[in-house]
Structures are given as structure tokens and as C-alpha cells.
Amino acid sequence: MSPMPSTAPTPESRPVDPTEETVGATERPASAEADASFRPAHAARMPRRHVVSVDWVAFIGTGVVLGFVLGGLAHLFGPAAQVGGMAYGFRTSLLFLATFGAMIGAMLGALTGVIADAALQRRARR
């Protein structure tokens, strides 16, 4: 059983109505390949803007790694961890300070990324 043909007029077979407003209208290409590269006529006169942004993962990841290392170094070269007469183990205090340093590093990395992104956006507007 074959599908029923459509009776709706196609754009090619539709009669042209002289009252339709066609000022500034452009015809779109029929093929999918041409449609992907379709740009209206006025777009050729417009300069292309390249969106520039920072790599957020790199900024935050670098902050995490640096914070983790600096937190670990703060444990190694800092005073002994004693609170209320109870001493914490070496690994416990090392991981606590390294994790705390990683969180602070992530926040500082994100803040650095925001500042760098603002500078890039301001430079791109010029």
C-alpha cells in the first residue's frame, strides 16, 4: 500500500501573491548541505565574532591541585594538631588540611577564572 500524496502546495508550486511582502526575504536552499551553510545576504557584511571564554575546568582543577598540595605542606610544616588534649593522627590531619586547601583552591581558581573571563570579554568587545 503506497502512502497518499500530499495535496498541500509546495513552495515551488505555490502561486506568487503580489501582495505578499518580500522585502529583505531570502530563499532558503532546498538541500540539507546547503541549509547548514546558509547565511542571509546581510550576514556577509557583518563581521564574525568569535566567542572567547576561559577553560573553567582548567582554572578550577588547577586551584584544587595547588590547594591540596599547599594544604598538605601546611600540615607538614605547621604545628602539631592537638585540640582539647586529643591528638589527631598524621593521615587524618594531613587529609583534613589538604581537603580544606583543595576547597579554598577551587574557590580561588574559580574567582581567577571569572576575572580572566571578564578581561577577555572586555577585550573582545573592542
Give the C-alpha separation, 42 to 49, whole Å: 15
Query: What is residue 82's predicted lDDT score, i.e. its pLDDT?
Result: 62
43 in any annotated domain: no
Q: Please give the residue range of the domain that contains residue 61.
A: 56-125
11 in any annotated domain: no
51 in any annotated domain: no
Q: How many domains does the structure of the chain reveal?
A: 1
Query: pTM of the predicted model, to two decimals?
Result: 0.56
pLDDT digits (tens, 9 = 90+) for 73-95: 988 888 766 666 677 788 888 89
pLDDT digits (tens, 9 = 90+) for 31-72: 555 555 666 666 666 666 677 788 999 999 999 999 999 999
78 in any annotated domain: yes
100 in any annotated domain: yes
CA neighbor of 75 nearest in space, from 102, 55, 50, 95:
95
Q: What one-letter code names the amino acid at 68?
A: F
pLDDT digits (tens, 9 = 90+) for 4-36: 666 665 655 556 555 555 555 555 555 555 555
Backbone φ and ψ of 31, nearest 5°: -85, 155
